[in-house]
């Protein structure tokens, strides 16, 4: 991780971040703890040799800075309104779940989740076909009783979606996969009734058989099928955050039109007005004090990540013209598609084995469409959850080179003693975030020129 050298590293004025980058990189290259570096090591490294006033004191300054980043990541959030954003379903979880779970433990925090796109691309035809077939089976067995309620097809299908989530998770606890599946099929049926305005059990039977046949024959997905696939992903996201007690009112499925648009970046670096306004109206209503954003450059991961980041940045910029955002903190995160260099990040969030166990369980039980991902990372063959964990563990191992292994196991703080992984974040002010997005947009345009 540390031996990647940006071609622009030697350009421009020297900064402390460059000092960190150089010393962190040297530790990695030599596989040596920071406190064991010598002046010869520093002078013989082409990057470290550039550090102004080079001495072993510079190493101690980097050690102190890294320790400060760790303590910033161990902070406990209280009385915050937190707005987590993800380009796709599962992005927030893969980037931040251990960070978020500690926030959810305090009832003084209001924690919201906003998923920006539908995510229907991640649901295969085979998965949806099996879901429709299973729903019909439960219906034929008389195990979907809600269709018997007299007002179900008029308005009853709209209610008790929260119950579907809790039914599913109750049976996660009971280790009853059949009832978990029945809870999932309840949601499929509710969504289908609304989607096609079905008015009877016979309508359900006819529509489902037609769609099953279309899927079996490989026909192109209709807009309705795309929407139903997206609603499956939305249910998965609701399950994940219900693990920590989040209600559906705090999970926002924005369904922005990014999949259906070309390049959204204009000459001013702004994006599609409808997307901006959707996000901006949420800011105005929820009034977050903390926002999280996936920070990926164009080409680092799915291009939707970059487009969503630019949409959020523009919404923050417009919001800042209406209200004082000096209190707002923005945390940039990355997940399975790219990682921060430790010098780029200024917050290191401790991850315990307990947090990893919860993460693994929640991913496996909730993201049914992703246990065998249709579009895996090209460098990893397996569930995205395992890739995220491997990144956290590697980042922790690298930071051990700076702080020493004993820093962790001898700590007086139980969270630090329990640490076996680290999540890297970049904390910014509102203005800092907007400036970063503008810089990334400018860099992209220069690269295309």
Q: Do the Cβ atoms of 186 and 167 come closer than 8 Å?
A: yes
CA dist., res. 339 & res. 353, Å (int): 21
The answer, yes or no, to whether residue 1 has pLDDT greater than 50, is: no
Could you read off the pLDDT of 117-129 as tens digits, one per residue?
988 888 999 999 9
The answer, yes or no, to whether residue 19 has pLDDT greater than 80, is: yes
Partner residues linked to 223 by β-bridges: none
The answer, yes or no, to whether residue 272 has pLDDT greater than 60, is: yes
CA dist., res. 13 & res. 11, Å (int): 7
In a 10 Å sphere around its CB, with 0-12 CB exposed, 13-18 middle and 19+ buried, how is residue 410 labelled?
exposed
Q: pLDDT class for 304, splitting at 50, 70, 90? A: confident
Which among 238, 223, 113 is positioned nearest to 186, based on CA atoms?
Answer: 238
State the pLDDT at residue 380: 62
For 28-93, the DSSP string reads: HHHT--GGG--HHHHHHSTTGGGSTT-SHHHHHHHHHHHHHHHHHHTPPP-S-EEEEEESSTTHHH
Strand ranges across the sheet with 329-333: 251-253, 110-115, 81-86, 290-294, 329-333, 419-429, 347-352
Q: pLDDT class for 55, splitting at 50, 70, 90? A: very high
Fold annotation for 74-117+254-448 = Rossmann fold (3.40.50)
Q: Kindly give, in sequence order, each residue whose CB lies less than 8 Å from that of residue 439, ignoring residues fewer than 6 positions away.
A: none
CA dist., res. 363 & res. 89, Å (int): 11
CA dist., res. 24 & res. 40, Å (int): 16
Could you read off the pLDDT of 417-438 as tens digits, one per residue?
999 999 999 999 999 999 999 9
CB neighbourhood size of 333 (10 A): 26
pTM beyond 0.95: the answer is no
State the pLDDT at residue 378: 59
Which residue stretches of 78-176 are H helix? 91-104, 125-140, 161-173
Which among 181, 396, 427 is positioned nearest to 293, based on CA atoms?
Answer: 427
State the pLDDT at residue 263: 42
Least confident piece of the model among 73-82, 176-185, 246-255, 440-449: 440-449
Query: For the chain, which residues make up each domain, given as ranges?
Result: 16-68, 74-117+254-448, 125-229
The mean of the pLDDT values for the chain is 91
State the pLDDT at residue 267: 35
| Residue range 223-237: mean pLDDT, rounded | 97
The answer, yes or no, to whether residue 4 has pLDDT greater than 90, is: no
């Amino acid at each position: 991780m540390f031996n990647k050298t940006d071609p622009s590293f030697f350009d421009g004025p020297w900064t402390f971040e460059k000092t960190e980058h150089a010393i962190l990189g040297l530790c990695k290259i030599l596989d040596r703890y920071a406190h064991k570096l010598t002046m010869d090591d520093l002078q013989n490294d082409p990057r470290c040799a550039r550090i102004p006033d080079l001495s072993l004191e510079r190493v101690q300054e980097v050690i102190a800075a890294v320790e400060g980043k760790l303590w910033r990541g161990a902070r406990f959030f209280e009385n915050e309104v937190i707005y987590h954003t993800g380009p796709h379903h599962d992005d927030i979880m893969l980037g931040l779940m251990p960070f978020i779970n500690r926030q959810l433990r305090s009832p003084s925090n209001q924690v919201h989740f906003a998923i920006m796109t539908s995510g229907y691309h991640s649901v295969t035809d085979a998965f949806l076909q099996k879901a429709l077939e299973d729903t019909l089976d439960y219906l034929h067995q008389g195990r979907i009783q809600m269709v018997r309620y007299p007002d179900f097809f008029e308005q009853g299908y709209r209610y008790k979606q929260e119950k579907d989530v809790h039914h599913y998770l109750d049976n996660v606890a009971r280790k009853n996969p059949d009832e978990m599946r029945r809870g999932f099929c309840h949601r499929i049926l509710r969504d289908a009734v609304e989607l096609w305005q079905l008015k009877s059990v016979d309508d359900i039977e006819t529509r489902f058989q037609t769609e099953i046949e279309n899927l079996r024959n490989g026909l192109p997905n209709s807009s309705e099928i795309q929407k139903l696939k997206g609603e499956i992903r939305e249910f998965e996201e609701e399950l994940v955050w219900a693990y920590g007690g989040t209600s559906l009112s705090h999970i926002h499925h924005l369904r922005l039109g990014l999949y259906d648009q070309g390049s959204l970046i204009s000459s001013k670096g702004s994006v599609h007005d409808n997307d901006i306004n959707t996000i901006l109206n949420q800011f105005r209503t929820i009034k977050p004090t903390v926002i999280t954003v996936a920070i990926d450059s164009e080409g680092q991961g799915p291009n939707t990540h970059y487009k969503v980041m630019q949409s959020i940045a523009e919404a923050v910029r417009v919001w800042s013209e209406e209200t004082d955002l000096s209190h707002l903190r923005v945390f940039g995160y990355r997940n399975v598609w790219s990682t921060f260099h430790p010098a780029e990040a200024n917050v290191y969030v401790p991850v315990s084995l307990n947090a990893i166990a919860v993460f693994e369980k929640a991913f496996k039980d909730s993201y049914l469409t992703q246990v065998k991902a249709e579009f895996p990372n090209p460098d990893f063959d397996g569930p995205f959850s395992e890739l995220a964990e491997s990144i956290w563990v590697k980042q922790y191992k690298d930071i051990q080179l700076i702080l020493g292994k004993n820093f962790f196991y001898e700590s007086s703080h139980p969270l630090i003693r329990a640490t076996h992984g680290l999540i890297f974040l970049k904390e910014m002010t509102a203005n800092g975030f907007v400036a970063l997005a503008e810089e990334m947009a400018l860099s992209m345009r220069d690269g295309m020129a």
